[in-house]
Structure 1
């Protein structure tokens, strides 16, 4: 089960890298504008009140539109975002225990403020994770790194982010190699024995370190001396600025106009 999760994670990383190579209208937007738009989306999402639920829902429009325009397969991306739900549950699961005040009554069932805040945490977390995954899938880590350097983020942090992202795949590939070698030498077993976990983990880390060292030596031979060089980065044009300004305007309108309440009131008015 653990190895299956590692293989799945490795596949997801490679899938994001492959999606970043697409040529769509979203992929052609300048990386800096996409990073700025994503930051504005994250700030807007977390700025909501801890009991906000319905007012958050219009924000789903952003990831849905980007997924469609960027031709990203929705099911894998949504599954990757939902994989983080155990962490979100761990963050908010205690809220219902400490906040017992009744918030709403739905079909005769009283729902406390704790459950409302818990649901709000889940929605905010999933939206933010989905936005981050979409950014990687439409920009790539190289593009994100170049945008961060344009924002004057210190070089050491950008390099750490970029190399950590690459090193995760190296570590995962080494884990897969050890798993396959162990299974070939112990036919009939479905998992690695507990007593061999320590040497296997040690071998995995040493193997990943060796591969990472060879990668660094190859980079050094090609002229790498600690300075991140994004290569040729295209200049920004009117479409790039319009993309960022348009989305930021939408986020501000959604944040302060409460479209959900207005739509609900309109529906109730028509039903009457």
Structure 2
């Protein structure tokens, strides 16, 4: 079961209702990410406080924790790799906890990991509650160019075809090799190039099939919903709460 099927299954199992429209929810998500990213590198309590927002929404909306945690675990090795650089370059002790010296790199590295996890949790909550075609309509409401939205929707839709192609290439390599033969860097580079050629050829066939069926560079015929007073109140309330947390935990 791929990521698209898991996400669709999660949407069937839950009834997530956003407090406002898609456009206002997207605006709140962008504001939340900006506030979290703007937290100073040594202010870990502020990031933890912002992490309460997606956690509260996950619990109140009844979202399953397993898919959210699974996606966070997939990206955790990259986060730990980024945090390891801070630990290595900033080794100046800030304070001691018993016999352990806490360095500035440990604090800033923890803040980096916490920021990434908090923002990723917010994006996952939004993606579980808002299907991708509605996300495209929300972008249209903000005046994003149609060509960018169409390209984004096509990449999202057909990116799941890349995984079966890569698995078939890997299976063919394993059947034709013994031990560690065929798994060196140069062979892997050739496989990646072959995967690129295959996906490009399939993309051309898909585009010709879509054109034959009346595709005219627009994937959605839905009209964007107007920005109501309820949406404005939701954005204003979220901005007030985010600003209050920022002022409360300001260093």
TM band (smaller chain): 0.7 to 0.9
Aligned residue pairs, count? 249
Residue number in structure 1 paired with 2:65: 74
For the residues of structure 2 that align with 1:194 and 1:25, how far apart are their CA atoms? Answer: 45
For the residues of structure 2 that align with 1:174 and 1:71, how far apart are their CA atoms? Answer: 35
Alignment partner for residue 31 of structure 2, among 35, 40, 43? 40
For the residues of structure 1 that align with 2:52 and 2:179, how far apart are their CA atoms? Answer: 44
Residue number in structure 2 paired with 1:96: 87
Alignment partner for residue 30 of structure 1, among 13, 21, 28? 21
Q: Tell me, yes or no, if structure 1 residue 153 matches structure 2 residue 147.
A: no
For the residues of structure 2 that align with 1:238 and 1:190, how far apart are their CA atoms? Answer: 65
Q: 1:111 to 1:135 in 2, by over 3 A?
A: same
CA contact (8 A) 2:88 2:105 kept: yes
Residue number in structure 2 paired with 1:221: 212
Mean Cα deviation higher: 198-207 or 147-156: 198-207
CA contact (8 A) 2:89 2:105 kept: yes
C-alpha deviation, 1:126, in angstroms: 1.1
Mean Cα deviation higher: 94-103 or 249-258: 94-103
In structure 2, stretches of 5+ residues that fail to align are: none
CA contact (8 A) 1:52 1:120 kept: yes
CA contact (8 A) 1:37 1:247 kept: yes
Q: Tell me, yes or no, if structure 1 residue 171 matches structure 2 residue 179.
A: no
C-alpha deviation, 1:210, in angstroms: 3.8
CA contact (8 A) 1:143 1:230 kept: no
C-alpha deviation, 1:47, in angstroms: 0.9
CA contact (8 A) 1:26 1:69 kept: no
CA contact (8 A) 1:24 1:69 kept: no
Residue number in structure 1 paired with 2:242: 251
For the residues of structure 2 that align with 1:163 and 1:240, how far apart are their CA atoms? Answer: 28
Q: 1:204 to 1:90 in 2, by over 3 A?
A: same
SS at match of 1:49: coil
C-alpha deviation, 1:105, in angstroms: 1.9
CA contact (8 A) 1:25 1:69 kept: no
Q: 1:47 to 1:23 in 2, by over 3 A?
A: same
Alignment partner for residue 99 of structure 2, among 98, 108, 113? 108
Aligned counterparts, 1:191-230, within 5 A: 193-194=182-183, 197=188, 200-201=191-192, 203-229=194-220
SS at match of 1:51: coil
Superposed CA deviations along residues 178-232 of structure 1, whole A, max 9, x for unmatched, are: 455667x66x979994376566545544443343333323332343222353524
Q: 1:204 to 1:191 in 2, by over 3 A?
A: farther
SS at match of 1:156: helix
Q: 1:198 to 1:258 in 2, by over 3 A?
A: closer
C-alpha deviation, 1:121, in angstroms: 0.6
Q: 1:234 to 1:58 in 2, by over 3 A?
A: same
Q: 1:168 to 1:252 in 2, by over 3 A?
A: same
Q: Tell me, yes or no, if structure 1 residue 12 matches structure 2 residue 3.
A: yes
Runs of 4+ residues over 6 Å off in structure 1: 188-192
